[in-house]
Every structure is written in C-alpha cells, then in structure tokens.
C-alpha cells in the first residue's frame, strides 16, 4: 500500500508532452518526415513516466498476457483485463494517444462482436484507437468499425495471435509471395478505413513496399527504420526481459536495479534498518499511556 499522492513532485522531470497527441499530430509529424516513438506499456505509473519523457503513443498491448500475467502466449489475454488495463494507461498518460490491443477472438467471430468489444475499449477503456491483427479478409470489420466512429490501427506482417497456426511467432514477407500478401493486406485495410498501419517482423524490402502504398502513418516493430513510427515493448526497452526479441536493443538495465533493490531491502529488514520517517503520536498523547503500554509498543 502506498500513501504517496499520484502527482509529480518538485524533483520530477517536467512533462515533455504538454498538448494532447491526436491522429492529427501523428499525420503532421509524418508529413514533416519526423519519426515518432511508441511503446507498449501496461499500467498507469509506467504510462505517467513515459508521457513525461515525451513518448507520444502508448499501446496497451496484449503482450501483457505474457509480461504481466505470466502466460506464454498473447492469445490468453482476458478481454475485461485488457479493457481495464487500457483505461489505466490512459489515466496515467491523459495527453498521450493510447491504442488498445483487441485480444484474440474479441473481433473474429462476427462484426457484431467486434463492434461491441471495440465500443467497450473506446468507452470503458478510454482508448483513442483500437488495434486489430488483420489481413485483407477482415477489411469488412475495419470498414464497419470506421463507419461507426472507431479509429483502427491495422496490424499486418507477423501477427502473434495467429502463432498457434504456425507453431510460434514467425517473420513475414521473407518470400516474394509472402511480401505481396503483406502489401495486399496493408492496402486493403487502409482502404477500408484504417487510420494507422503497424507492421511487425518483416524484411526491409517489405517495409519499403508498404511505405510506397501507405496513405496513413506506418508504425514498425522489427521492420527496419523506414517506418513513420517505431514501437517496442517497454519491458524489452528497459532491460526487464530475460530474452528480448532480436529487434529489441535495451537502453537500460532496470531488471538488475530491481534485483539489487530487492536484495538491499532483504538486508535492511534483517538488520532492522528500514529507513524512512516514523509516524508520531500527537503532542501530549504519549504521556497518557501507561508505562507498560509504552514498553510493549517499543518491543
């Protein structure tokens, strides 16, 4: 339990994101050829620090199934948890554009399911955009959502939610036929109304082809440097992941810091030197206690 206020202290870095980030913001950055950063995160506290750092886009990712809940696959992400997590990220970073990752089977069974669940992410989850792992066959779902007023980011290339079919996550576009399929998917989904494209784990040749046909900002992950934006899982970025993916290069070693902090706390408790400031009784109240009570309280 923490009694600390959820506010920046005078020792906290000044917020770098001062105006709300919108789709217009990303389009303007893309027009200026200014690459924008994105990170997947899962809680209000981390989101608050990332907003202060100036990260304009946060994804409440279904990778939380793995890094938060301890599952081995993203498809185990519970829908209700995903919605609440998205709201938490948005509360932590209210000026940041927050994307919600729609979990496995939350939009596959029917358009009605997709509409209802996307609506929950927009209202209960306070999402600015919903992200769907999709191919050209799901353009109809994107069209319906867009017409209903739901901004969609279409995720193409490697799609982790389909990894059960391939026996695990696999890079996409490594053959000419696969490359053409990724391009067709991207084209069909943006034509259906997708406001953003996210392309994952593809060779540079695929990214270049997608960028040639893209009419909306393109976010990459493991897709080279040509994309308009780049995204990573924050755990991979700050060194919390034991075995990060090949495309993720940590910039910090927070895992080691947590390890050392935990070890130091164990030692402090063992030595009864826990630090901090103690609570005191109000003036004159301690004198009202009997000697026995005072002795018991100090044991």
pLDDT of 296: 46
| Domains, in order of start, for the chain | 23-237 (3.20.20.60)
Residue 297: per-residue pLDDT: 47
> What backbone torsions phi and psi does residue 54 show, to the nearest 5 degrees?
95, 15
User: What pLDDT score was predicted for residue 2?
Assistant: 42
Residue 166, CB half-sphere, CA atoms under 13 Å: how many?
Answer: 11
Tokens 């994309």, located at residue? 227
Question: Of the candidates 163, 192, 198, 170, which has an alpha carbon nearest to the alpha carbon of residue 65?
Answer: 163
Dig out the tokens for 51 from the structure: 């907003």
Q: What's the Cα-to-Cα distance from 225 to each of 25, 29, 219, rounded to whole Å?
A: 20, 16, 10
Chain centroid to CA 203: 23
200 is catalytic: yes
Q: Is the Cβ–Cβ distance between 190 and 223 less than 8 Å?
A: no
- pLDDT of 169: 82
The first and second tokens of residue 18, run together, are 């001062």
In this prediction, residue 168 carries a pLDDT of: 82
Angle at 90 between CA 53 and CA 8, to 5 degrees: 50
pLDDT of residue 121: 98
53, 93 in Cβ contact below 8 A? no
Identify which of 16, 15, 102, 21 has the alpha carbon closest to the alpha carbon of residue 57: 21
**How far apart (Å, rounded) are the C-alpha atoms in residues 171 and 178?**
10
The one catalytic residue among 34, 180, 200, 295: 200
Are 228 and 217 in contact by the 8 Å Cβ rule? The answer is yes
Q: Is the CB of residue 239 less than 8 Å from the CB of residue 216?
A: no
* Predicted pLDDT at 299: 46
- Distance, in Å, from the CA atom of 244 to the CA atom of 180, rounded to the nearest integer, reads 28
Q: What are phi and psi for residue 198, nearest 5 degrees?
A: -125, 125
Q: Kindly give the confidence (pLDDT) of every residue in the chain, 299 residues in length, as a single tens digit, with 9 standing for 90 and above.
A: 443 445 555 556 666 767 999 999 999 999 999 999 999 999 999 999 999 999 999 999 999 999 999 999 999 999 999 999 999 999 999 999 999 999 999 999 999 999 999 999 999 999 999 999 999 999 999 999 999 999 999 999 999 999 999 888 899 999 999 999 999 999 999 999 999 999 999 999 999 999 999 999 999 999 999 999 999 999 999 999 999 999 999 999 999 999 999 999 999 999 999 999 999 999 999 898 975 444 444 44
């Amino acid at each position: 339990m923490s009694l600390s206020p959820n506010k920046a202290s005078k020792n906290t870095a000044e917020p770098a994101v001062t105006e709300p980030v919108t789709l217009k913001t990303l389009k303007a950055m893309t027009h200026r050829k200014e690459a924008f950063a994105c990170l997947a995160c899962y809680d209000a506290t981390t989101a608050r620090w990332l907003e202060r750092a100036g990260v304009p886009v946060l994804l409440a990712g279904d990778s939380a199934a793995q890094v938060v809940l301890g599952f081995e696959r993203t498809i185990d992400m519970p829908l209700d948890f995903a919605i609440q997590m998205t709201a938490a990220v948005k509360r932590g970073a209210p000026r940041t554009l927050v994307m919600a990752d729609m979990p496995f089977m939350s939009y596959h069974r029917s358009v009605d399911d997709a509409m209802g669940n996307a609506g929950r992410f927009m209202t209960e989850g306070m999402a600015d955009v919903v992200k769907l792992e999709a191919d050209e066959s799901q353009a109809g779902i994107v069209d319906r959502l867009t017409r209903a007023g739901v901004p969609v980011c279409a995720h193409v290339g490697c799609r982790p939610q389909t990894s059960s079919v391939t026996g695990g996550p696999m890079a996409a576009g490594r053959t000419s036929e696969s490359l053409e399929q990724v391009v067709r998917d991207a084209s069909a989904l943006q034509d259906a109304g997708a406001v953003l494209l996210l392309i994952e784990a593809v060779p540079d040749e695929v990214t270049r082809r997608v960028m040639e046909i893209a009419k909306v900002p393109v976010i990459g992950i493991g897709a080279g440097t040509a994309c308009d934006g780049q995204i990573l899982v924050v755990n991979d970025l700050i060194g919390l992941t034991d075995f990060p993916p090949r495309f993720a290069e940590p910039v910090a070693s927070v895992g080691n810091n947590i390890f050392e902090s935990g070890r130091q706390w164990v030692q402090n408790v063992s030595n009864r030197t826990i630090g901090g400031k103690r609570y005191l009784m109000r003036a004159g109240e301690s004198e009202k206690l009997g000697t026995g009570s005072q002795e018991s309280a100090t044991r």
